[in-house]
Amino acid sequence: MKISEATALIRTPVIERAQPQSWCDLGCGSGTFTTALAQLLASGSTIHAVDLDQGALKRIPEQYHGVTIRKVLGDLRSSSLRLPAADGILMANTLHFIEDQHLFLKKLLSVTDRFLIVEYERSRPTPWGPYPVGFERLRELSSEAGLKRVERLATRASRFGGTIYSALAGRS
């Protein structure tokens, strides 16, 4: 996916505020969505980009459009991973790799109460998405985790077939 496509998918007024914010991008890979997020955040913002692949993290710039990107090598499933308090968490194509999704989301509520999710609209497991999170499933998971609001932001065709969607979930 091109950065411009990722930017269009996650665009929301929650991100596009005038003041700097702090976000975590969990499972950032080589940074397509990290960079997209940086384009939307105000200059002076910070993104904590977390991934298990050190080679992928090396491809992410440390600054982009005035946004500082702090790269964190870590396993999202590890209890030793510590995340800073943040204005929001971005998870693009990440949640479908987490087995206990509602517990994972509940744990992340200690970091933020706002989540920007990008997932495939699928209900059957695949080797590339063993725990699928279609939009209706995301609504269920969010409710189980204590999030009251889930709003679909955008959809687009996936180059792998089917549809990819973005959603904003929060406590209020």
Please tell me the total count of domains within the chain: 1
Residue 129 pLDDT more than 90? no
Question: What does the alpha-carbon distance between residue 100 and residue 85 come to, in Å, rounded to a whole number?
Answer: 22
Per residue in 94-108, pLDDT (tens digit) is: 999 999 998 999 999
Contacts of 35 (CB under 8 A, 6+ apart): 3, 6, 60, 61, 64
Per residue in 21-65, pLDDT (tens digit) is: 999 999 999 999 999 999 999 999 999 999 999 999 999 999 999
**pLDDT score for 42:** 96
Q: Which domain holds residue 87?
A: 3-170
Mean pLDDT along residues 142-164: 91
CATH number at residue 138: 3.40.50.150
For residues 92 and 25, the answer to whether their CB atoms sit within 8 Å is: yes
**pLDDT score for 46:** 98
Query: pTM of the full predicted structure?
Result: 0.95
